[in-house]
Amino acid sequence: MSAAVPIGDTSRNQKIKVILALAIPAMIENFLQTVVGFVDTLFVSKIGLNEVAAVGVTNAIVAVYIAVFMAMGVGTSSLIARSVGAGEIDKAKAIARQSTWISALLGLVFGVITLFFAEPLLRLMGAEPSVLADGVIYFRIVAVPSIFLSLMTVFGSILRAAGDTKTPMKIGVWVNLIHIGLDYVLIFGLGEWGGWGIAGAAWATAIVRVIGAAALFIYIRKSKLSFSLRRGASNEFTLPLLKLSGPAAAERLIMRFGQVLYFGLIVRIGTDVYAAHVLAGNIEIFSYMPGYGLAIAATTLVGQHLGANRKNDAYDYGMLTTWIAVIFMAFVGVLMFFFSPIAAGWFTNDKEVIGMVTTALRIDAFAQPFLAIGLVVAGALQGAGDTKSPMYSTAIGMWLIRVLGVYVLCIYLGMGIAGVWLSIAIDLFIRAVFLLFRFKRYMQSERKKEKIIHQKKII
């Protein structure tokens, strides 16, 4: 059942408990997904380097699909959270039904694209002939049934928007455990059966997405947002969903394509620098877990309290969640600063690369509080219905600050890996300041509107 988010007068300590009750399950779920990604890569690496490359290139394309599905989830979360906060449960159900139909359609479209254009897309990504055959097999098995990935994403967003982050976490635990088991069996075989190799890895991923989507929908049917798909789609909420999801999708696509551009610049500096950057990024991704979990809490709490017309509480929850994230991630930054040489040593024995990874992570350690602010305030703005501000911040940060920073600091001034991560740190700082300013201004505007309405009622 959905967890109830208290709407009413609550103390600061009670608010902190509410925030953590929503955020911690989301943190655990994100952490498990990251761990499974590592295990998946580890298993595939035992087959061969071509297979690793095939999975890597495919996942770069699937990441674009996921970006669109997650954007749909952002629009869904924002509208449902506000409807639940306002007590408009029937409206929330209708939004959930409509977002499900739109997500299913998106999944089918991407599935058809994959079926007919798998090979051209992989060639476009630069897949070499030795990688292409395995890549096409893996890509089609994983991405033709994209409808289940899309539905799994939106179903999780529906439950979280209603204040239930525990159910997606519990399902995530079981799905990830099943994934690891299926991965091993289908890749390497069992007994006399030798397994399917890279195709086995793809089938394991496809099967658990079907299981995950089905399990989440079963729990939605048991929740207060239960809806039937038999009633079909309604166009009433299509435009509001697309208005919110469009900028969120643009933000994620801007980020993905921006990464491709500045990764290309890093490759120009040197293969060893690029390798060190990738390793540092693989280690750093764990630091995102607290921020992602608290961002989900911010989206839900700000959206629900704005829907309930408790704008001061919405602002308080947004800011309180942000400062909790800063504390969490500042602590992560301290760990990163002191233990980065050890973490780098897990991936390579090359002392020069370990030194570069250590430099990168120690610079990033000081940027962790700004990363926390950026992640959580973006979530708060999305909960409030402002998906454009995060899009603007990502566009400026990724295409201007990072790309220009890498060019100037690395290629022109020759600062190497330090220049790359200083560019990232500058981007995170500017993004945090911009989003914090936008959230405060947005909430001030909302409170002014409330005051004007109140005055008119008195007159």
Mean pLDDT of the chain: 88
Distance of CA 2 to the CA centre of its chain: 22
What's the pLDDT band for 45 if we cut at 50, 70, 90? Answer: confident
CA torsion through residues 77, 83, 86, 90, sign: negative
What pLDDT digit, counting tens, does each position of 169-225 carry? Answer: 999 899 989 999 999 999 999 888 888 999 999 999 999 999 999 999 999 999 999
From CA 7, how far away is CA 86, in angstroms rounded?
10
* pLDDT value of position 127: 75
From CA 241, how far away is CA 226, in angstroms rounded?
19
What pLDDT digit, counting tens, does each position of 223-238 carry? Answer: 999 998 877 666 788 8
Q: Residues of the chain with pLDDT > 90: what percent?
A: 54
Answer whether residue 410 shows pLDDT above 60.
Answer: yes
Answer whether residue 259 shows pLDDT above 70.
Answer: yes
Coil/strand/helix, residue 4: coil
Answer whether residue 4 shows pLDDT above 60.
Answer: no
* Winning range, highest mean pLDDT, from 121-135, 288-302, 342-356: 288-302
* pLDDT value of position 450: 64
Answer whether residue 92 shows pLDDT above 70.
Answer: yes
* pLDDT value of position 48: 81
What does the block give as tokens for 376? 């959580």
Are 198 and 134 contacting, i.e. CB atoms less than 8 angstroms apart? yes
Give the closest residue to 30 by CA, choosing from 280, 296, 259: 296
pTM given for the model:
0.84
Domain ranges within the chain, ordered by starting residue: 11-233, 246-454
